Every structure is written in C-alpha cells, then in structure tokens.
Amino acid sequence: MDHMELEQCIRSHGKELFSFCGRLTRNTQEAEELYQDTLLKAVELGARIDYGRNPKSYLASIALRIWKNRRRKYAWRSRIAGMRPLMEEEKGAGTAGWGTTGAELEMMGLDASAEEAFLKQELKDQVNRAVEKLDEKYRIPIYLHYMLGLPVAQIGKALKLPQGTVKSRLHKARELLRKELEVMGHEA
C-alpha cells in the first residue's frame, strides 16, 4: 500500500478506528495515543497492507496488538514497581451523559422527536454500559463486529482465534448482553 492508498484508508476508516481505540482504552488521551501509534505502525508496515482486501481489519488488529502490549507492559511494571493508574474516569468513549428525563423534555416544550432522540440515546448508553461490563474476551469481538463491521473470519485473524471460537464468543456476549439489558429494563 502506498501513501495515497493509506491516506484514503485513513479517510475511510479513521473515525471508526478512533472510536474503536476509545472503546479499548476507555480514556480519551490514551485513545488518541493508541490511534496515532496505530497509524504510525501502519505507515511503517505500509507495504504489507493489501488495500484490495479489508484494510480496516488490518488497522484494527494493529491497534489491538499495540493496546495488548501496553497493558502487558503496564501489568509487568506495576508488579515490579507497584505503580498506581493515572486514568481519568469516563463513563464511555463517545457517549453523551444527559441527565434529562422524558418528562423534563416535555416540560421544556420539546416535541416528541426530541423525546424519541433522548430515549434512543438512553438506550445506547444502557447498551454501552452493558458492553463495558463484559469480560474482555467477549467485549473485543463485540466491538470488532458491531463497531467496525468486521466479519467473523477477519475477527478471527485479528484476534488469532478460530472462527468457531469467535462465533461462540459473539453468541455468548449477545446472551450476556440480553440478560444484562433485561435486568436494567426491570430496574428502570
């Protein structure tokens, strides 16, 4: 892949890749750093990326590898030096945290479409919170499949797992999410 193809690839898939980095790190600064490092590695490995295939999958696997290596290094260093994390608290990358209820929207004179938009955003927030509660082995395939739109075969390549394992993890993650969202629905 030459620089023009890489530039086109970044234009096409950059937002999705950044969003994916944000979901992995759960921290804006770390997401930006991971995104930049991913793009730098892509430039370094430019000749190996086949633009005719799915470059989005390749970029996601680069980001995932860099993120896992950082986590491994951090865990190793914290065992040795006992460091404390300096992570900012975020409820999720890219989610809006409105505190307004549907009744308050009506009192403010907003129409039904605003209320529908609020309810959709609230549902998205509930799903995001439920996904964040998943174990990493289920959460990452969910992000790759639903955020980046990668098929099972490419997720398997990115995670270095057989397709059957990816399918079973996606199925298990959907079941866990269904149960979690049912519980959230009964609490509301």
| 131 located within any domain | yes
Residues 69, 1 share a domain: yes
Residues 133, 77 share a domain: no
| 188 located within any domain | yes
Residue 188 pLDDT: 46
- Output the CA torsion sign for 87, 29, 55, 131: positive
CATH assignment of the domain containing 167? 1.10.10.10
DSSP helix/strand/coil, 86: coil
Give the separation between CA 141 and CA 147, rounded to whole angstroms.
10
Quick: pLDDT tens for 126-161.
Answer: 888 889 999 999 999 999 999 888 999 999 998 999
| 169 located within any domain | yes
- The rounded mean pLDDT for the chain is 79
Residues 128, 72 share a domain: no
Residues 79, 1 share a domain: yes
Pick the last residue of a domain from 37, 67, 83: 83
Residues of the domain holding 4: 1-83
- Cα angle 133-135-138, degrees, rounded to a multiple of 5: 110
Quick: pLDDT tens for 43-66.
Answer: 888 766 666 677 888 889 899 999
With beta carbons less than 8 A apart as the criterion, state whether 132 and 92 touch. Answer: yes
Quick: pLDDT tens for 73-99.
Answer: 888 777 776 555 544 444 444 433 334
Residue 94 backbone class (left: φ over 0; alpha: ψ -120 to 50; beta: rest): left
Q: Where are the alpha helices (DSSP H) in the chain?
A: 3-25, 28-44, 55-81, 102-107, 112-133, 136-142, 152-159, 163-187
